[in-house]
A and B are shown apart, each in its own frame.
Chain A
Amino acid sequence: MFRKLHEPVSAVLTINIDGVPAAADPHESVAAVILREAEPWTRLTPVTGSKRAPYCMMGVCFECLAQVDGVASVQTCLEPVSDGMRVARQITPRRIGK
């Protein structure tokens, strides 16, 4: 859906999105990386199960919620990537303790 102007060059990081490795630049947000994926969505809604993707990129729409390193409902537009980060699309409503 989105493409990078330059391939990641400086110290490429790798994050893992639902088991698929993705290259990332330092400082960019997890949401930005997801928007370059073949499946550019982050969560299924708890009400009708429809797909949602990052919409505002500034922390006010909560569409980019995903599970990051085991923590559910992380706003991925506010979350900078780090090497080895594990991201999972959020396909069920959040549960206490997850």
Chain B
Amino acid sequence: MNRLDVLIVGAGPAGMAAAVAARRVGLDVMVIDDQPAPGGQIWRSIETSARRDDILGPSYVEGRAAVEAFRASGAAYRPRTQLWRIEPGFHAFVSRDRRSQEIKAKALILATGAQERPVPFPGWTLPGVLTVGAAQILLKNAGQVPAGPVWVAGSGPLPLLYMVQLLRAGGQIAGYLDTTPTGQWLSALRHLPRALRAASDLTKGLHWSAMLRESKTPVVKGVIELEALGEDRIETVRYRTNTGATVTSKADTLLIHEGVVPHLHAPLSLDCAVAWNSAQDCYVPVVDNWGETSRENLFIAGDGAGVAGAKAAQLRGELSALRVAEKLGRISTDAIATSARRIRRKLNRELALRPFLDSLFKPRPQVFAPVDGAIVCRCEEVTAGEIRALATIGQPGPNQIKGATRAGMGPCQGRQCGYTVTRILGAAQNRPPADVGFYHIRAPLKPVTLGELASLDQTAAHDR
């Protein structure tokens, strides 16, 4: 196969916008994505969900135009394709329909987005406990809602949006367990003047809160601890508030959300520099203002480069694509300077609300300090207590914990336990998370079968 100008990983807002911009200047572009259709998580199933437009609302419907532009861009598009290894140069190894293939590209734009922050609490592994994002995906993809009254727990804009969508769909909410630390309004206030530049998004949030009040949805504020109890599935939820009250209630489903964090496995596997972002409580890749990482011609666009939302992701995708075109000599430095100025003006407006949101919805400390009995590594069933017990024998880092307990060795490869292990070690060893570091991430980034590996040789032979 010929070497592409640019391979884009991810067909969400950033990846699609990057593809459209790169095609506009004539680059040879391929987009791979592990989902069956374009749109990313925010616009999941946008091409097949028209009957649910009224429920999902205008910011979702906006995605349809973005997907149409992407489909019309002429970029090669490979859905249901998982990236499992990248080598410098770049050689990307992907699997599709249980066969693997090597794709060569001069530049790489990772637009792999974000995932919901894992929040270990006792019982979070029980069937019937899902993330809020998962429930929203079920609404988008399958038009389905929790069968009975659902408990929603957590903090941030997404639970509010989902509850509004669920009410529009005729779903029932048992209650909202708001875990936002009370009083964070005060620290968020200093970011309000800048946030007012994004007044329309701010209004949207206030509107959601108002709808929730009108619906008489029970809201419990200041929830600090959460527990799901049941035999083979959740039967009850128990929570404790900052006033000391402990309440147990019947529960059929419980949804949890404590913000989102960038997907870092691909850049970490290439040793791209990352830095700790204390405002967002996560690592973010170190990138320049085009999204280029510490590794030349490797770009990260969208939430994968730090969470900023879909509109910002589109703009960052465009910026990365333009820079790739310039580096490949397809457009002049003057031409991209003009476009970049226009894009950055919009981007600044999109980023205006972020510090306010980050400050208002900063996760409660308990998110990073699960009780001893809580499972941290879902795959290998390693508890917080087991990790804590080892944390002060010497000064182990995440990789020693992995070796000693198998935490991070299951099929999710640390996507669910990585941050918690870092934070537990940090707390026990009195070190900031930036010092503790993260698991060493190595290929394969997704589980690959021997058959898939063997098929590589056949595709290579076919190419010759």
Contact = CB atoms under 8 A, between A and B. Distances in A.
A60 B415 contact: yes
B131 A59 contact: no
Interface in A9-51: 25-29, 32-33, 35-36, 40-41, 45, 47-48, 50-51
Contact of A1 (B146, B378, B410): B146
B303 interface: no
B286 interface: no
Given A41-B233, A55-B131, A25 B381 contact: no
A18 B463 CA distance: 41
A74 to B, nearest CB: 10
A47 B377 CA distance: 12
Interface in B62-82: 80
B379 to A, nearest CB: 7
B143 A4 contact: yes
Nearest to A34: B127
A71 B98 contact: yes
B411 interface: yes
Given A1-B253, A47-B380, A78-B34, A57 B130 contact: yes
B399 interface: no
Nearest to A36: B144
A50 B125 contact: yes
Contact of A40 (B41, B55, B127, B133): B127
Given A5-B143, A36-B144, A71-B98, A53 B381 contact: no
A52 to B, nearest CB: 6
Nearest to B381: A47
Given A5-B143, A61-B378, A61-B412, A40 B131 contact: no
Contacts of A33: 142
A53 B233 CA distance: 9
Contact of B116 (A6, A56, A77): A56
B169 A78 contact: no
B435 interface: no
Give the secondary structure class of A's interface: loop
Contacts of A29: 141-142
Interface in B103-146: 115-116, 125-131, 133-135, 137-138, 141-146
Interface in B405-464: 410-412, 415-416, 447, 450
Contacts of A51: 126-127, 232-233
Nearest to A80: B36
A50 to B, nearest CB: 7
A76 interface: no
Contact of A54 (B35, B134, B410, B412): B134
Contacts of A47: 380-381
A52 B253 CA distance: 14
Interface string B29-64: 000001111000100010010011001000000000
A54 B36 contact: no
B335 interface: no
B252 interface: yes
B170 interface: yes
A8 to B, nearest CB: 9
A51 B127 CA distance: 7
Given A50-B125, A78-B80, A58 B41 contact: yes
Contact of A2 (B138, B379, B447): B138
Interface of B: 34-37, 41, 45, 48, 51-52, 55, 80, 98, 115-116, 125-131, 133-135, 137-138, 141-147, 169-170, 232-233, 252-253, 263, 378-381, 410-412, 415-416, 447, 450
CB-based closest 9 A-B pairs? A53-B127, A32-B142, A57-B134, A28-B142, A62-B411, A57-B137, A3-B147, A47-B381, A62-B412
Interface of A: 1-6, 25-29, 32-33, 35-36, 40-41, 45, 47-48, 50-63, 65, 71, 73, 77-78, 80, 96
